[in-house]
Structure 1
């Protein structure tokens, strides 16, 4: 019965009353059944009458223990199922928010690129055609990787190179990219499309406030079992926008927190030579590499 009906906490007294009634029925049936079987043994009948209260107490305790153990078992089972459903719901919500953040990071880059294509169609149609081709390849790669949560460094840097080729078409000789990747990091994993907003942020704050040529440096290395990616760009200390508090970096911090429950994996700093450095750390574990 308890397998189909679980009493609430306020009805536990009713369960104890039901157990007492069941105990009385068992003791009553046992008394008259044993008296019937041993009708000619007066001493045993006297023993049955004498031990009746003790047998009733023992039967009540046993039935109560069985009932409470049964309730505890089913409630633990129900709690485990509820916890499983809650965990599944949290995972679905986390994945939905991750997908939302990933898709929010792309449109502003696309709008900027389309504006540049429009400008190039007037002054340099050949370069505009080249940029459209590279932009199509970049967007095709974005759609292809849309369901991939984890990618290795080699794949991510190939994806970033497409983006950098587009930016080089936009800014021509003004933009120089220095990429330094340690060989032992190429097989390591990181969340897909995570690096592109950081590089875009560096180009934006490095180029938009100056007409001079600049160099963006990207360094990828392994430190203390963590993939470390440093992106450095020159900046104008008088421009408040160079603090890097825009949507891009905040969305990346949020995404990293959802994946690792750590809000300190993305750090920014400035140096005396007007250099702005964004450092991204991705913890590496075997289970992450297996998910790729």
Structure 2
């Protein structure tokens, strides 16, 4: 910007060299240079705003060309009007009148040059931002992929399930076998599924029900889970493995510190051309503070939605009247 101001100043005082040769008064010379520099500076500020907030894909797009021609004409008009009215010197008046075509061409050329320089500068910034965004997105994708592997092979879930199976082999071998089959199917699906893939909602719900069935065997009558799903949307595509972290969070914090039966409801409906998922579980504020976790599960869902759909604020949580509500909105693919 400073370099452009210096360039404009140099172009403004260029005519003064010839004016001095014609023995024009110093006052007229100062007025001439000031008017040209002032109008050029105003154009510089305006074209800077245009490039910053209305940057076009082409250097000589309509906004750039039209603004350059418009302000070149206005600059010539102002130079002619102000300098002529501010000086009564015949020689100077004749010079202004005769030099207008050449001066207008130089102003137009200089304004186009300024526009091109500012466009190139903003284009460089624009490209840098896109590259930075792409790099950040790739880093987030890698981070989520690594964390998803950790999610798939959660030691605590696997160990708890194996401990439950071990105990059931003594007291209830039939349930132990059932849990082994459920756990095997669940782990096979978790390992084989592409974490970024879009799958039918029906398949995601089937996987979710396997997880719920495993947890119901572990906790027995203490855990009750109800599903309310619109059949019309079961063929819609959703990101794979996106619902299980929500239910895991609900089970973990719904059962923590409670010996009574815990009711968890899962509602999945189509609202405003988006899949609405609402999960409700009991909420004890004192117990939640004692068992506060990292919150990775829900954060991973937010990041996954952003990476796949480019949208934020699709997952919200609220706590009211002893209930914790998780609301996930999934755009239709």
The answer to whether TM tops 0.5 is: yes
Where do 1:11-50 residues align within 5 Å? 11-12=3-4
Return the alpha-carbon distance in structure 1 between the equivalents of residues 148 and 315 of structure 2. Answer: 19
Q: Which residue in the other structure is 2:141 paired with? A: 95
Return the alpha-carbon distance in structure 1 between the equivalents of residues 211 and 304 of structure 2. Answer: 22
Q: Which residue in the other structure is 1:118 paired with? A: 163
Distance 1:207 1:52, change over 3 A: closer
Secondary structure at 2:321's aligned position in 1?
Answer: strand
Secondary structure at 2:278's aligned position in 1?
Answer: strand
Q: Which residue in the other structure is 1:75 paired with? A: 121
Which structure has more RCO (C-alpha within 8 Å, separation ≥ 6)?
1
Number of residue pairs matched by the alignment: 247
**Alpha-carbon deviations, 1:49-99, whole Å to 9, x = none?**
x89855653453243234224324433443443343233234324434544
**Alpha-carbon deviations, 1:104-159, whole Å to 9, x = none?**
55555x42332331353255174555434432322232233334254442122011
Distance 1:243 1:221, change over 3 A: farther
Matched, 1:182 2:227: no
- Given the two structures, how large is their TM-score scaled by the length of structure 1? 0.63
Return the alpha-carbon distance in structure 2 between the equivalents of residues 15 and 65 of structure 1. Answer: 11
Where do 1:85-234 residues align within 5 Å? 85-99=131-145, 102-103=148-149, 105-106=151-152, 108=154, 110-124=155-169, 126=173, 127-128=175-176, 130-148=178-196, 150-234=198-282
Return the alpha-carbon distance in structure 2 between the equivalents of residues 222 and 184 of structure 1. Answer: 9
Quick one: which of 2, 18, 26 aligns to 1:10?
2
Secondary structure at 1:135's aligned position in 2?
Answer: helix
Q: Which residue in the other structure is 1:251 paired with? A: 299
Distance 1:183 1:215, change over 3 A: same
Return the alpha-carbon distance in structure 1 between the equivalents of residues 225 and 199 of structure 2. Answer: 22
- Given the two structures, how large is their TM-score scaled by the length of structure 2? 0.57
**Runs of 5+ consecutive residues of structure 2 not aligned to the other structure:** 16-94
Where do 1:272-287 residues align within 5 Å? 276-284=323-331
Distance 1:195 1:268, change over 3 A: farther
CA-atom RMSD in angstroms: 4.1
- What is the CA-CA distance between 1:217 and the residue it aligns to? 2.8
Where do 1:261-276 residues align within 5 Å? 261-262=312-313, 265-271=316-322, 276=323
Return the alpha-carbon distance in structure 2 between the equivalents of residues 239 and 262 of structure 1. Answer: 27
**Alpha-carbon deviations, 1:245-285, whole Å to 9, x = none?**
543465257537845322763334335xxxx342323153x
- What is the CA-CA distance between 1:199 and the residue it aligns to? 1.5
Return the alpha-carbon distance in structure 2 between the equivalents of residues 232 and 66 of structure 1. Answer: 62
Kept in 1: contact 2:161–2:218 (CA 8 A)? yes
Distance 1:197 1:65, change over 3 A: closer
**Runs of 5+ consecutive residues of structure 1 not aligned to the other structure:** 1-8, 24-49
- What is the CA-CA distance between 1:163 and the residue it aligns to? 0.9
